Chains A and B, each alone.
Chain A
Amino acid sequence: MSLSSVVGQLRDGMTIGVGGWGPRRKPMALIREILRSDLKDLTVVAYGGPEIGMLCAAGKVKKLMYGFVSLDAIPIEPYFRKAREAGTVEVNELDEGLLLIGLQAAAHRLPFLPTRVGLGSDVLTYNPEFRTVRSPYDDGETLLAMPAIRLDVALIHVSRADRLGNTQTDGPDPYFDGLFARAAERSFVTTEMLVDRLDLAHSDTAKTNLFERCFVSGVTLAPGGAHPTAAHDAYGWDSAHLRAYAASAAEPDGWSRYYQDYVAPGEAGYLDRIGGASHIRSLPLPVF
């Protein structure tokens, strides 16, 4: 599938989950394709990084569900901050773990899962639709009934994939990509490398398969497609690019300039402007 044919299957008002975590392994090539489209009124669910800020800046977002939105070394996503402070997006601000539990409930086809997470905090104040439930056992404990977070679509970036929809993801942390895939009606995957059959080409790394191909509706080859976020173990995030992107938020026409420079020219133009595939491949992961 091409990026545009994936985005062609998305509709206004959909709930879209995005895999990865902060500036790590975000399907940015797909996000840029959404930025170029006329999609609108999206609900976006994520452990948020630059994809959230960009989708907000481009006016694509009706509602966000997140535990945080961060560029890590740049703690606060600048365009997310702008959107919040302008009050232009609705939000379900959650504990990071509640996001996990909500996706888990959806993945298991349950209406909710019980948890103590969120009790005693303003998670309940600002998510007034959340209900509590009483343990049916002798303890009678009151728990939060975290509602299932059902996704229309999940967008995920992986290291390798085959034409059947099998995927493998390198790196030290799987994050919650598998949960996003299972919580969604359909998942679309971009990949650094595409082969005919992973079992024939890469069976030695089969343990890095995070979710079954029954959850994968389409695979798109997009080498470097996580840039400017990291795609372990292939490349780190592009700190200089993220700093320039963050700085643009302080300028009145910052977003339109960023859009014109990097998004409008298409993916081939994008690669050109950031210094080519070799630049992406040379990006080290930052050390903390």
Chain B
Amino acid sequence: MTTAKEFTLAELIIAAAAEAWRGEGEVLATGIGVLPRIAASLAKLTFAPQLMMTDGEAYLVEEPVPLGPRGDYKPKFAGWMPYGRVFDNVWSGRRHAMVTPVQVDRWGQANISCLGDFRKPKVQMLGMRGFPGNSVNHRNSMFLPAHSKRAFIEGEVDVVASVGYSDKRFPEGARRAGGDLGIIVTDLCVMDFKGPDHAARVLSLHPGVTFDQAQAATGFPLLAPASKHITAAPTEEQITVIRKLDPHDLRAGVIKGNPPGARP
């Protein structure tokens, strides 16, 4: 497999984010948003064909559905997956979603509800959506397009929508039923929360990014990778698949300025 000579940061992120689903088996892979959705589809079309996936509306598909207007392409349905069944799958634990919260803290807790005081928010956002139930029941990975101290904040997130590893938040005797954090992919690096006591650690830095840069953009301490790990560039094969999945190049609009994958 040849590494692509030229690739955008969005394409690097897609290839890195696809790794979230490696070895997951027959789970429902839900990538919410442009890059996570392409990433889940890329995983299914390359190394994880057993993943289950929907058309984004109400049906299971075995062939991932390309993004945007489809021309002559007609999705082929393998099964029915309305919202009611998505909840059943969530609570069975057989799902791995990749989501984009607005705030993440050192305990891996995440917020998409609102900013500021919940009773009179400074900025109302989406509400809790399915974050509490998803995060306590199945694995979730995250994609954050702008790695900064506003996203990875110093204290606790304003509203805990996704649960994390803060024990004081759980009543005695409660248990997380397999809810767990996968990887966190940003425009600077790939991280997880699998250090000692669930500390955040950098798994790889995107080409041209230093650990100090990533740390400076994070409101809590990060563990550095043991040796110099650089996020793998996408292969030519992966780029070909990505182009088929995203024929209208919606991925170009996700990261500001659509920069190249290798920073100068």
CA A152 to CA B138, docked complex, whole Å: 35
Which B residue's beta carbon lies closest to that of A78? B124
A117 touches B124 (CB 8 A): no
Write the nearest CB–CB distance from A105 to chain B, whole angstroms.
Answer: 15
CB-CB < 8 A to A271: which residues of B? none
A141 touches B126 (CB 8 A): no
Contact bitstring A34-72, B, C-beta under 8 A = 1, else 0: 000000000000000000000000000000001111100
Write the nearest CB–CB distance from B135 to chain A, whole angstroms.
Answer: 7
Query: CB of B204 within 8 A of chain A?
Result: no
Query: CB of A21 within 8 A of chain B?
Result: yes
A140 touches B163 (CB 8 A): no
Query: CB of B91 within 8 A of chain A?
Result: yes
Selected contact of A118 from candidates B87, B121, B122, B132, CB within 8 Å: B132
B56 touches A123 (CB 8 A): no
A97 touches B91 (CB 8 A): yes
A75 touches B175 (CB 8 A): no
Query: CB of B49 within 8 A of chain A?
Result: no
Interface size bracket, A side: 35 or more
Which B residue's beta carbon lies closest to that of A172? B58
CB-CB < 8 A to B84: which residues of A? 100, 174, 176
B174 touches A122 (CB 8 A): no
Which A residue's beta carbon lies closest to that of B37? A288
Write the nearest CB–CB distance from A253 to chain B, whole angstroms.
Answer: 21
Query: CB of B177 within 8 A of chain A?
Result: yes
Which A residue's beta carbon lies closest to that of B166? A120
Query: CB of A96 within 8 A of chain B?
Result: yes
- Please choose the segment from A4-12, A80-88, A275-283 that sits at the chain B interface, where 4 or more of its residues have CB less than 8 A away: A80-88
The 10 closest A-B pairs by CB, nearest first: A120-B163, A142-B173, A172-B58, A87-B120, A117-B133, A121-B132, A84-B124, A173-B82, A68-B127, A95-B132
Known A121-B135, A143-B174; judge A96-B130 contact (CB<8 A).
Answer: yes
CA A98 to CA B132, docked complex, whole Å: 9
Query: CB of B5 within 8 A of chain A?
Result: no
CA A141 to CA B175, docked complex, whole Å: 7
CA A125 to CA B171, docked complex, whole Å: 12
A70 touches B163 (CB 8 A): no
B163 touches A97 (CB 8 A): no
Selected contact of B137 from candidates A69, A116, A134, CB within 8 Å: A116
- Please choose the segment from B17-25, B63-71, B147-155 that sits at the chain A interface, where 4 or more of its residues have CB less than 8 A away: B63-71
Known A141-B173, A174-B82; judge A122-B130 contact (CB<8 A).
Answer: no
A116 touches B129 (CB 8 A): no
Known A121-B162, A123-B132, A287-B70; judge A173-B58 contact (CB<8 A).
Answer: yes
CB-CB < 8 A to A288: which residues of B? 56-57, 67-68
Q: Which of A206-227 contact B (CB under 8 A)?
A: none
A142 touches B83 (CB 8 A): no
Q: Which of A175-194 contact B (CB under 8 A)?
A: 175-176
B114 touches A84 (CB 8 A): yes
Q: 30 interchain pairs (CB within 8 A)?
A: A66-B127, A68-B126, A68-B128, A70-B126, A81-B124, A84-B114, A84-B121, A86-B120, A87-B119, A93-B127, A95-B131, A97-B130, A116-B137, A116-B174, A117-B132, A118-B136, A120-B169, A121-B131, A121-B135, A121-B161, A122-B118, A125-B118, A132-B171, A141-B174, A141-B175, A172-B59, A174-B84, A175-B83, A176-B83, A288-B68
Contact bitstring A105-148, B, C-beta under 8 A = 1, else 0: 00000000001111111110110000010100000111100000
Which B residue's beta carbon lies closest to that of A77? B124
Write the nearest CB–CB distance from A46 to chain B, whole angstroms.
Answer: 11
CA A67 to CA B164, docked complex, whole Å: 19
A140 touches B87 (CB 8 A): no
Pick from A75, A95, A172 the residue with the most CB of B within 10 Å.
A95
CB-CB < 8 A to A123: which residues of B? 128, 132
Query: CB of A14 within 8 A of chain B?
Result: no
Known A95-B132, A287-B70; judge A85-B163 contact (CB<8 A).
Answer: no
B127 touches A69 (CB 8 A): yes
Query: CB of B90 within 8 A of chain A?
Result: yes
